[in-house]
């Protein structure tokens, strides 16, 4: 086996509607998800047993033990004799699905390298609710239910995107506990002509939301301040939080305005990155 490597892209919830809560306490979601050109990097090479090496600016944020999601994913499909190197560019516990994307990337690489069978949806959900969407093609998707229902979305363009995190982790369970109303309307039908980025962003701002943004901001006021900072930047079409936070994103009208916003918001202690989302897969 030769060394193999791949990008584990950041997962961004352009919209996240919480539509209900089951008797067992798990919440039902309806979300528009995109992936970005920015992400972590996973590399595999032959090794003794299974071991994980952590690299990158946020490598030390990742727990090194057997509970690490990357190692759990490798064990799930029976991977063996692998040294896994995770180059971590995304902050942990930041709402960008970094751990799930890392695990999905590990599954794909290990299965291809060692001829192993990829797990089904039920097994993926045992690793985490974001695993099914991260295992699908890294393209715009609608994620429903607990996360097990994933539908590709056609016609969503690439979007200039600023990612910004106040430099503080935010635990997902605490955000859901702070949600006062778990039963909310689902996503409306996607608009026609969404290939136009401005029109699509206007629709997102008018007709969709992130139901976790308010409880997350109540727990961490820095989120609200960061969103205000993003929204004030010239060329910003939409400012919103992704997932359960604390990462926020801004969608911009051009590469130039995106770069200017990155420079304006890059303060000590913050994670700030300029990237672009991956568009829908062309249909034949």
Would you state the pLDDT for residue 93?
A: 81
Could you say which of 40, 130, 211, 229 is catalytic?
130
Element (H, E) at 110: helix 98-114
Answer left, alpha or beta for residue 176, where phi above 0 means left and psi between -120 and 50 means alpha: alpha
Strands (E) located in 82-225? 82-87, 141-145, 149-152, 160-165
Name all domains of the chain by residue range, CATH numbers in brackets.
4-151 (3.30.230.10), 154-276 (3.30.70.890)
Q: How far apart are CA 70 and CA 105, in angstroms?
A: 9
Q: Say what angle helices 69-76 and 98-114 make with each other, to 10 degrees.
A: 30
What is the token pair recorded at 39? 């992400």
Q: How far apart are CA 81 and CA 187, in angstroms?
A: 44
11 is catalytic: yes
- d(C-alpha 182, C-alpha 28), whole Å: 9
**Prior bond to 246 cis, omega within 30?**
yes
d(CA 206, CA 209): 8
> If we measure between CA atoms, which residue out of 104, 134, 153 comes closest to residue 243?
134
pLDDT tens digits, one per residue of 164-188: 999 988 899 999 999 999 999 999 9
Q: Residue 34 pairs with which residues in a beta bridge? A: 12
**Which of these, 31, 36, 42, 30, lies nearest to 4 by C-alpha position?**
42
pTM over 0.75? The answer is: yes
CA atoms within 13 A on the CB side of 261: 33
List 11, 40, 88, 229, catalytic entry: 11
211 catalytic, yes or no?
no
| pLDDT for res 1 | 59
Cα separation of 56 and 254, whole Å?
29
pLDDT digit string (tens) for the chain, length 284 residues: 567 999 999 999 999 999 999 999 999 999 999 999 999 999 999 998 899 999 988 888 887 777 889 999 999 999 999 999 999 999 988 889 999 999 999 999 999 999 999 999 999 999 999 999 999 989 999 999 999 999 999 999 999 999 999 998 889 999 999 999 999 999 999 998 889 999 999 999 999 999 999 999 999 999 999 999 999 999 999 999 999 999 999 999 999 999 999 999 999 989 999 999 999 987 65
**What was the pLDDT predicted at 62?**
82
Tokens at 8, concatenated: 């584990």
For residues 266 and 124, the answer to whether their CB atoms sit within 8 Å is no
In order, the DSSP letters of 112-161 are HHHTPPPP-HHHHHHH-TTHHHHHS-SS-EEEEETTTEEEE-SSPPP-EE
């Amino acid at each position: 086996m030769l060394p193999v490597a791949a990008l584990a892209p950041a997962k961004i919830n352009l919209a996240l509607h919480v539509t209900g809560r089951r008797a067992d306490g798990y919440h039902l979601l309806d979300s528009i998800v995109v992936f970005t050109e920015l992400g972590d990097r996973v590399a595999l090479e032959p090794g003794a047993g299974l071991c994980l090496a952590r690299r990158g600016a946020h490598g030390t944020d990742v727990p090194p033990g057997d509970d690490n999601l990357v190692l759990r994913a490798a064990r799930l499909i029976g991977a063996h004799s692998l040294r896994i190197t995770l180059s971590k560019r995304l902050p942990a516990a930041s709402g960008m699905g970094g751990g799930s994307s890392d695990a999905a990337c590990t599954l794909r690489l290990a299965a291809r390298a060692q001829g192993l069978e990829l797990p089904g949806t039920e097994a993926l959900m045992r690793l985490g609710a974001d695993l099914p969407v991260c295992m699908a093609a890294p393209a715009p998707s609608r994620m429903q239910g607990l996360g097990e229902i994933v539908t590709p979305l056609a016609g969503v363009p690439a979007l200039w995107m600023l990612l910004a995190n106040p430099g503080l982790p935010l635990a997902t369970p605490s955000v859901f506990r702070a949600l006062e109303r778990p039963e909310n309307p689902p996503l409306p039908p996607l608009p026609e002509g969404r290939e136009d980025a401005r029109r699509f962003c206007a629709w997102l701002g008018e007709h969709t939301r992130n139901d976790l943004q308010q409880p997350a901001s109540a727990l961490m006021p820095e989120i609200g301040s960061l969103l205000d900072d993003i929204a004030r930047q010239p060329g910003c079409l939409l400012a919103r939080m992704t997932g359960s936070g604390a990462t926020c994103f801004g969608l911009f009208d051009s590469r130039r305005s995106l770069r200017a916003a990155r420079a304006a918001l890059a303060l000590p202690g913050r994670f700030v990155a300029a990237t672009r989302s991956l568009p829908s897969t062309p249909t034949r």
